[in-house]
Structure 1
C-alpha cells in the first residue's frame, strides 16, 4: 500500500544527485547519533593502521611460518614484482576504462544519464509498505512525455504515516549556501527522520528529531507525553515556509510540537487536545498561526506565540481525516471526516459549529483532500470507497464535476501538482502511483475554463499515466454542466 504522496516542484531537485559514501566522516556522524541515543560517549573511530597482536608463544610460532606481517608487501621473482596474474605474459591491467585504448564505451556517461533529473521534471515521493517492508519511492515525472518512473528508493525503519518537504539545509550540508531538497518522514515510531532527496543509495538520514534512548523505546505504550519528544506515532507534519527553521508535528500522544531545525530539538510542545492529533497545518500567509484536528472531535486554530488563546470548532460525532487552508480565501479552511463529509469553516467565527457549507462527498471516510493551488474552486476528494471525485466549489456552492475509480483500491492520498494545474497524483491500498491528466475530461474543461492561464487540452483521451489496463476497473460519472448535488447546505447552514 501507499499511505501518502508528496510532489516536489520543478527545478528543486539537483540535476545530478550525489552518491552516498560511508567514509570516516560519515561513520563518525552515525556514531554520534548512536551515542546520543544511548547517552554514551562516542567510540573512537578505528583506524586502518591498527595491527593485530596475538598473545601466547604457541600461537606466534604457528603463525610465524606464514609471515603474515609481510603478506601484503610486494614480492619479487627474478628481479620483477609478482602480481596476481604473474604467470600470464603480456596482460596489461588498466585502473579505468578511460585508460584502456580498446574500450570506447564510457560507462560513467550511461550511469549519469540514468540518474539525471531535468529542470522541467517533477519529483514525486511515495511512502510505500509491502510485506512489512517500508520505503520511500522517489519518482521522476516527465510531463511532456507522460512518463513516470522510480528514480531511487530509501528504506524506512517503520510504517510511514506522513511526509513533508523542506529546503532548510541540515546534517552534512548544514551551513551551505542555497536551498536544499529534503523530506521529513513521520512513522509509527515517535521519531521524525529527515532525508536528503539529492543523494542516492542513502543508508542513514541527515537528521533525526526526537531521538530517544533504547530502553524508552521499548516501553513507549506506558510513557506519558512530555515537552522534549513524541511518545507515540507521528501522524502529520507541516513545514513553516516563512520561518524556515520550524517544523510542526502532531502525534497520537495528543501533543503538537514545534521543532527547531537548527538545533534539532523541540522548541515548544502544545497540549490543547485531549486525544490523538490527526493533522497539523501552518497558515499560508499568517506565519505563526496553526490549525490542528484531533480525534477529540474538534478542530483548533491558534497563534503559536499565544498558545493559551485557542479557538475550537466541534465536528459532532465524527473524527477528522484531513484539514486544508483555502489558498484563495485565507480566512477559511476545509475539514474532511470519517463520515464522508467535507466541512467549510470561517476561522473568524470561533466556536460556530455550523459550517459555511457541508458537502456529503462520499459514503465512506474522506481519507484524502486537496485544494488546487492554481485553479480557484477546484477540490479533489478520495475515500475508502475507492472513488476519487473532483468538485467545483465556486461561490461556496459545491458541485461534483467527475468521479473515477482508478483501480487503486482504497484511496489514501491525492495531490495536485504544484506546477501543472491539471496533473493529479493518486495512490492507495493497491500500492500503485497514478498521474491523472484532468484536462482530458470534458466536464473539467467546461467547469474550470478561464480560471487558469495554462492552456487546456481539447481532446477526450482520458490520459492516465501508468493506469491499469482493465477497463472494467474505471467508472466515470461526468456532470457536464456540473449540476448541483442535494447533500449540501447553504450559507445559513440549513440542509438544501
Structure 2
C-alpha cells in the first residue's frame, strides 16, 4: 500500500551503516548483555561529542542512560564508525552500494517510520522494515550514538517527542518519551501543543511547539532546562547557531525570527519576516541563514547584522517553499507545486552568494514536503512527496552540462 504522503526524510551516513546493522528481538535476547557500556568511551573518543544508549530495555521511567550528542556540522569528521561484530547478522544484510533512509510515511489510517534502502548502482528502492508511530510525523532529527548507530527523534501533533532505535526490526515502543506536558498545566490537553520542529547541539535538543514555545532538553538529565516564550504563534523553525552553541534561532508563524541567548534566556535580536516561514538551513559554516517562505520565496539573512533587510531574495515558486537542501555549491529547493529548483552558488565567495538558477524539474509525484541531500554521494537527493523520490542530479543532462 502506497502512503498518502511522506512528511519527513533523512539519509543515514555510511559511517553508521554496515552489512549487519539491523537486528531482531531474538538477536537482542541472545546478546542482551554483550554490549559493554564502558567500552563506548575507550579508544580515545571524546565522550562529550556522542550520545550513548543501550540496545536492550534497561531504561527506567523513560530515562536514557548517558546521552551526549555529536554535532551534525562536520558530520563526516565527528560521527564515529560502527564496529563490525557488535550486531547480529541474522537480519538481511545491506550491500556496499546501499544507502539507508529514515522516512516518516503517512497512510489513510496510520503513520510509520520506514527504514528504506536505496541502491546507488541499480537505483532500486525498498522498505527494509517499518516502525508504527502514534501520530503524524511533523519533525524528525537523527541522534548519533558512538559505535551503536543513530536514533530517530520524532515530533507529532502530541506534546511528546519519541525516540526510536531504527536498527531494531521488531520495535513497537519508543526507547524514550520526552513530554512537554508535565501534568501541572491541565489546559495543555485542550489546546494545540504538537512538536513541529527539532534540532540538537551536542547533548541539547530543542523543540518548536504549536503552543508558541521553544523547549530545550538536557538529554543527559532527561529534563527541560529552558523554555523560550518569545513568539505569538506556532514555532516552525528552531536552529542552533553554526558557530556559537549558546545561540538559538527560532522563527514562527508570527512572522518573527528571533535570536535567543540561552545562557540568560534573553532575546538578543529580532527581525520581521515578509511571510510565514516554512524552512531554513545554514549556509555552510557562516552566519548566513537561508529561509524558505510560504509565498514561495527564498531569502538570505546575515545574523551578524540584525534588521529586517535580507542579503538577497529569490522568487523561487508561486507555492510554498517547503524544504531546502545544500550540497557543495548546489542549493535545491522544493515546493508544494511539486517542483524542485536547482541553484548554483559561487564557491569562491566568503559570504553567502546570490544563487543562480540552473535547472527546474517537475517530479510528478505530487506536493513535496521534505528533502535531504545524501552525505556520501555527490548530487543524490531524496524527496518526500506522495511517494519517495530519489534524484541523481547528474542524470539530468542539462544540469550535468551546466556544472562542467
Structures share fold, TM-score greater than 0.5: yes
Q: CA deviation at 1:321?
A: 0.3
2:295 maps to 1:342: no
> Where does residue 127 of structure 1 map in the other structure?
104
- Map 1:264-275; keep pairs closer than 5 Å: 264-275=222-233
2:279 maps to 1:322: yes
Q: Which of 187, 195, 205 lines up with 1:234 in the alignment? A: 195
> Where does residue 373 of structure 2 map in the other structure?
416
Q: Is the 8 A contact 1:320 1:337 kept in 2?
A: yes
Judging by fraction of residues, say which structure has more strand: 2
TM-score when scaled to structure 2?
A: 0.78
Q: Is the 8 A contact 1:2 1:129 kept in 2?
A: yes
2:380 maps to 1:380: no
After superposition, the C-alpha distances for 1:125-171 in whole angstroms (9 at most, x for unaligned) are: 11111113000111112213322211110000111101110114xxx
Q: Pick closer, same or farther for the CA change 1:28–1:335 going to 2, 3 Å.
A: closer
- Map 1:37-56; keep pairs closer than 5 Å: none
SS in 2 for 1:160: coil
Equivalent residue pairs, number: 345
Which sections of structure 2, spanning at least 5 residues, go unmatched?
33-54, 64-87
SS in 2 for 1:182: strand
Q: CA deviation at 1:123?
A: 1.1
Q: CA deviation at 1:31?
A: 8.8
Which sections of structure 1, spanning at least 5 residues, go unmatched?
35-110, 169-176, 223-230, 450-496
> Where does residue 209 of structure 1 map in the other structure?
178
After superposition, the C-alpha distances for 1:199-251 in whole angstroms (9 at most, x for unaligned) are: 111011111111757897896124xxxxxxxx7010011121xx2x2111111
Q: Which of 211, 214, 223 lines up with 1:253 in the alignment? A: 211
Q: Which of 17, 24, 29 lines up with 1:19 in the alignment? A: 24
2:249 maps to 1:291: yes
- Map 1:53-452; keep pairs closer than 5 Å: 115-118=92-95, 120-168=97-145, 178-210=147-179, 212=181, 220-222=189-191, 232-240=193-201, 243=202, 245-316=203-274, 318-328=275-285, 330-350=286-306, 352-372=307-327, 375-376=328-329, 378-394=330-346, 396-428=353-385, 430=386, 432-449=387-404
Distance in 1, matches of 2:236 and 2:208, equals 7
Distance in 2, matches of 1:213 and 1:255, equals 15
Q: CA deviation at 1:301?
A: 2.1
Higher Cα Rg: structure 1 or 2? 1
> Where does residue 37 of structure 2 map in the other structure?
none
After superposition, the C-alpha distances for 1:22-53 in whole angstroms (9 at most, x for unaligned) are: 97x9998689459xxxxxxxxxxxxxxxxxxx
Q: Is the 8 A contact 1:283 1:291 kept in 2?
A: yes
Q: CA deviation at 1:11?
A: 2.8
TM-score when scaled to structure 1?
A: 0.64
Q: Is the 8 A contact 2:258 2:267 kept in 1?
A: no
After superposition, the C-alpha distances for 1:311-346 in whole angstroms (9 at most, x for unaligned) are: 112113x10000111115x12111111111101111
Distance in 2, matches of 1:266 and 1:397, equals 39
Q: CA deviation at 1:279?
A: 1.0
Distance in 2, matches of 1:186 and 1:31, equals 22
After superposition, the C-alpha distances for 1:67-90 in whole angstroms (9 at most, x for unaligned) are: xxxxxxxxxxxxxxxxxxxxxxxx
SS in 2 for 1:205: coil
Q: CA deviation at 1:443?
A: 2.9
SS in 2 for 1:324: strand
SS in 1 for 2:398: helix
Q: Is the 8 A contact 1:258 1:269 kept in 2?
A: yes
SS in 1 for 2:369: strand
Distance in 2, matches of 1:5 and 1:126, equals 4
> Where does residue 49 of structure 2 map in the other structure?
none
SS in 1 for 2:111: strand
Q: CA deviation at 1:114?
A: 5.7
Q: Pick closer, same or farther for the CA change 1:265–1:131 going to 2, 3 Å.
A: same
Q: Pick closer, same or farther for the CA change 1:216–1:153 going to 2, 3 Å.
A: farther
Q: Which has the higher contact order (CA 8 A, sep 6+)?
A: 2
Q: Pick closer, same or farther for the CA change 1:181–1:27 going to 2, 3 Å.
A: closer
Q: Is the 8 A contact 2:23 2:91 kept in 1?
A: no
Q: CA deviation at 1:5?
A: 0.7
After superposition, the C-alpha distances for 1:413-464 in whole angstroms (9 at most, x for unaligned) are: 1211111121011121x2x111111012233224333xxxxxxxxxxxxxxx
After superposition, the C-alpha distances for 1:172-199 in whole angstroms (9 at most, x for unaligned) are: xxxxx63531110000111000001121
